[in-house]
């Protein structure tokens, strides 16, 4: 497994993986920064506003970003006709495990950047809302879990179709529907795994049309939603592994 | 001589279609074995089964004297190099980097890379990205990947596909010298029969998943005698004598063309024609090329 991970890192050389994953985080933070964070009326619930805003941004940005990461990771093997050689050198389990490990590391970057960005926004704009480490931690784990779910799903699509268009197409579709799903009935939203950036939110919002002011309030952590995402992650991973194990090359 | 590859009753079916049927392959150590067949004959499927890339529907594969199973597969393949269909490689990496990845995964010392690059004459191009390589260079890099770790067995599926004549010649000499230079047994598939004839010592002919012939090339050629050509000063006299004695032949200018025959019978025939005054000035046996033999076999005709 270690040697396969080393090989994955070698393959990532000149594939510009790091700029891509950093770019995803920067894009999400820049978008979140367009909210009126410095508005004096916002400072009292600054952190809640950032977490809520980032969840909306993630619903748009992350599905396509995860599709790009997932398909790039497998596309390199398809383009290089490499599977028939790799499968004679190492076990399929080790090769798949290394892909999953590298992919997970790449997926981890954006939530970490968002975590750091949220803290940075608090310092820069001097939020008066007390920082809740639990809410931040919850946001981080939920974002990571949904990102990982989408990434593994896109990786599985790439494995199944070899052509990267279905994976990228799904990424575009999920990104477009992810945003709208946030404003649809909760029962419907819960059926869409890529909308779980919203379902796992621990912050609620009320918009007063007369004053045009949004207020944010904490809601109980939807643990069941995180459990659903983690379970789906496991299922998708198992399906991907089954594909790799059984696919004839 | 030990067999480096042996298959027993190897089958692969897709639905009701037999891609490979009851294949008993035997590749002796230290030879270049030509695996010949038309497109779709089952050559690539067989080679993939030898490498464990696809699972056989029935039968056994023995590599290097051991029956291959999921537990020992990788250990056996570490002593094997392969190039299946098209060379593998990452276009955004250099030739050297591609070899480093394969060497690492194969558990081979990276110093081996210099040696294999030299063998395939790619030392000067080692730092160029793979996407800048020509097809011939990619094929040679594929061979270099296969050669890492000095494998006892090389399995090469149509390695000259897409190469120009110079590339084919180069690849042929590279592969041909493997047994002597590296002690490697080579199993090579191709449908370019002329190329095989100049390269292999052993041959297996596959058609529609069935092995039609297997053995030394010389044996195949020996059993595949061609027509006898008799050049005569007076062909009309010879033709008349043939007709009188009920011997089938045809005339091509000053030459009579007879079907293949035993050497004793040929000697008697020449003597009789000379006595008749036909003026025998030349006797030649037309050797069937491997291509002709192959066509006769795959058309279901017996080899004469």
**Per-residue pLDDT for B118 more than 50?**
yes
For chain B, the average pLDDT equals 89
Are B235 and B208 contained in the same domain? no
Reading the block at residue A212, the tokens are 């045009």
Residue B132 lies in a domain: yes
Report the CATH number at residue B206: 3.40.50.300
Question: What is the per-residue pLDDT across A2-18, written as a single tens digit (0 to 9) for each?
Answer: 999 999 999 998 888 89
Please tell me the predicted confidence (pLDDT) of residue B300.
63
Q: What pLDDT score does B304 carry?
A: 43
**Based on the domain organization, do B12 and B113 belong to the same domain?**
yes
Q: What is the DSSP letter of A114?
A: H
Q: Average of pLDDT values for A43-68?
A: 92
Question: Which 3 state secondary structure label does DSSP give B299?
Answer: coil
Is pLDDT of A121 > 70?
A: yes
Q: Where residue B267 sits, what CATH number does that domain have?
A: 3.30.70
Same domain for B230 and B156, yes or no, is no
Is residue A84 within 8 angstroms of chain B, CB to CB?
yes
Report the candidate in B62, B77, B53 with the shortest Cα–Cα distance to residue B10.
Answer: B62
pLDDT at A147: 96
In whole angstroms, give the CA distance from residue A103 to residue A100.
Answer: 5
In a domain, B303, yes or no: no
Does residue A45 register a pLDDT over 90? no
In whole angstroms, what separates CA A148 from the centre of its chain?
6
pLDDT, tens only, B45-90? 999 999 999 999 999 999 999 999 999 999 999 999 999 988 999 9
Compare CB distances from B90 to A80, A90, A91 and report the shortest one's residue: A80
> For residue A157, is pLDDT > 80?
yes
The 3-state secondary structure of B7-31, one letter per residue: EEEEEEEECCEEEEEEECCEEECCC
B260-283 as b/e: b if 16+ CB within 10 A: ebeeeebeebeebbeebebebeee
Length of chain B equals: 304
Q: What is the DSSP string of B98-150?
A: HHHHHHHHHT--TTHHHHHHHHTT-GGGTTSBGGGS-HHHHHHHHHHHHHTT-
Q: What tokens does B105 get?
A: 């995964």
Measure CA B116 to chain center: 23
Residue spans per domain, chain A: 2-246
Quick one: B27 and B123 in the same domain?
A: yes
Quote the domain boundaries for residue B272: 222-298
Question: Same structural domain for residues B151 and B271?
Answer: no
Residues B21 and B116 in one domain: yes
User: What is the percentage of chain B residues whose pLDDT exceeds 70?
Assistant: 96
Q: Is beta strand B185-190 parallel, antiparallel or unpaired with respect to B58-63?
A: unpaired
Domain-embedded: residue B291: yes
Least confident span in A31-40, A237-246, B109-118, B278-287:
A31-40
* Shared domain check, B128 and B27: yes
Within-domain flag for B255: yes
Q: Round the average pLDDT of chain A to a whole number and report it.
A: 91
Q: Considering only CB atoms, which chain A residues are within 8 Å of B145?
A: 85
Query: Measured between CB atoms, which of B53, B80, B107 is closest to A249?
Result: B53
For residue B77, the chain A residue with the least C-alpha distance is A88
Looking at the fold, whether B176 and B229 belong to one and the same domain comes out as: no
Please tell me the distance from the alpha carbon of residue B118 to that of residue B139, in angstroms, as a whole number: 14
CB atoms B88 and A90 under 8 Å: no
Q: What integer pLDDT is reported at residue B1 of this predicted model? A: 60
Question: DSSP secondary-structure letter at A131?
Answer: P
How much of chain A is helix, strand and coil, in % rounded to 5? Answer: 75, 5, 20
User: Are both B146 and B243 inside the same structural domain?
Assistant: no
Query: Do B239 and B100 lie in a common domain?
Result: no
Q: How far apart are the first and last CA of chain B?
A: 28
Residue B73 corresponds to which tokens in the numbers above? 């597969």
Nearest to B95 by CA among B68, B66, B63, B120: B120
Last residue of a domain, one of B199, B221, B243: B221
On whether the pTM is more than 0.80, the answer is yes
pLDDT, tens only, B161-174: 777 788 788 888 88
CB spacing of B90 vs A3 below 8 angstroms: no
- Count of structural domains within chain B: 2
One domain for residues B42 and B176 = yes
Among residues B193, B221, B249, the one where a domain terminates is B221
Is B304 within the bounds of a domain? Answer: no
Q: B198 and B277: one domain?
A: no
Boundary of a domain, candidates B221, B242, B277: B221
């Amino acid at each position: 497994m270690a040697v396969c991970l080393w090989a994955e890192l070698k393959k990532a050389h000149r594939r510009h993986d790091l700029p891509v994953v950093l770019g995803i985080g920067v894009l999400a933070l820049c978008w979140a920064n367009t909210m009126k964070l410095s508005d004096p009326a916002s400072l009292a619930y600054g952190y809640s506003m950032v977490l809520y805003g980032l969840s909306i941004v993630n619903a748009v940005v992350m599905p396509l970003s995860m599709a790009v990461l997932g398909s790039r990771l497998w596309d390199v093997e398809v383009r290089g006709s490499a599977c028939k050689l790799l499968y004679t050198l190492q076990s399929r389990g080790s090769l798949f495990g290394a892909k999953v490990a590298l992919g997970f590391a790449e997926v981890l970057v954006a939530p970490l950047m968002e975590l750091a960005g949220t803290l940075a926004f608090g310092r820069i704009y001097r939020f008066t809302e007390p920082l809740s480490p639990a809410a931040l931690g919850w946001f981080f784990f939920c974002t990571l879990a949904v990102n990982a779910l989408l990434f593994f799903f896109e990786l599985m699509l790439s494995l199944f179709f070899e052509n990267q268009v279905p994976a990228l197409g799904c990424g575009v579709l999920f990104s477009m529907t992810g945003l709208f799903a946030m404003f649809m009935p909760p029962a419907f939203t819960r059926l869409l795994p890529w909308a779980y950036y919203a379902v796992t939110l621990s912050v609620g919002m009320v918009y007063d049309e007369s004053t045009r002011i949004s207020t944010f309030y904490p809601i109980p952590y939807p643990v069941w939603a995180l459990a659903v995402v983690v379970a789906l992650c496991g299922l998708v991973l198992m399906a991907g592994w089954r594909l790799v194990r059984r696919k004839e090359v | 001589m030990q067999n480096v590859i042996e298959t027993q009753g190897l089958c692969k079916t897709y639905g009701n279609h037999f891609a490979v049927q009851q294949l008993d392959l035997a590749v002796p150590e230290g030879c270049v074995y030509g695996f010949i067949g038309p497109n779709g004959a089952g050559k690539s499927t067989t080679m993939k089964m030898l490498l464990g890339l696809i699972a056989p529907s029935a039968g056994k594969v023995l590599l290097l004297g051991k029956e291959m199973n999921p537990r020992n597969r990788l250990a056996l393949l570490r002593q094997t190099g392969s190039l299946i269909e098209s060379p593998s490689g990452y276009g955004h990496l250099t030739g050297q980097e591609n070899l480093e990845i394969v060497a690492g995964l194969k558990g081979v010392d990276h110093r081996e890379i210099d040696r294999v690059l030299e063998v395939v004459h790619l030392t000067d191009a080692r730092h160029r990205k793979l996407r800048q390589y020509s097809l011939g260079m990619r094929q040679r890099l594929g061979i270099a990947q296969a050669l890492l770790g000095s494998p006892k067995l090389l399995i090469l599926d149509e390695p000259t596909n897409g190469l120009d004549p110079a590339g084919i010649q180069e690849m042929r000499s590279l592969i041909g010298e493997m047994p002597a230079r590296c002690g490697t047994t080579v199993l090579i598939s191709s449908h370019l029969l002329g190329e095989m004839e100049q390269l292999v010592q052993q041959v297996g002919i596959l058609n529609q998943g069935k092995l039609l012939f297997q053995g030394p090339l010389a044996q195949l050629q020996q059993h595949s005698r061609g027509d006898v050509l008799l050049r005569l000063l007076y062909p009309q006299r010879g033709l008349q004598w043939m007709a009188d004695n009920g011997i089938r032949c045809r005339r091509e200018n000053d030459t009579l063309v007879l079907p293949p025959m035993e050497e004793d019978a040929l000697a008697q025939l020449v003597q009789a024609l000379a006595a008749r005054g036909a003026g025998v000035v030349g006797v030649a046996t037309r050797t069937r090329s491997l291509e002709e033999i192959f066509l006769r076999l795959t058309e279901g005709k017996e080899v004469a």
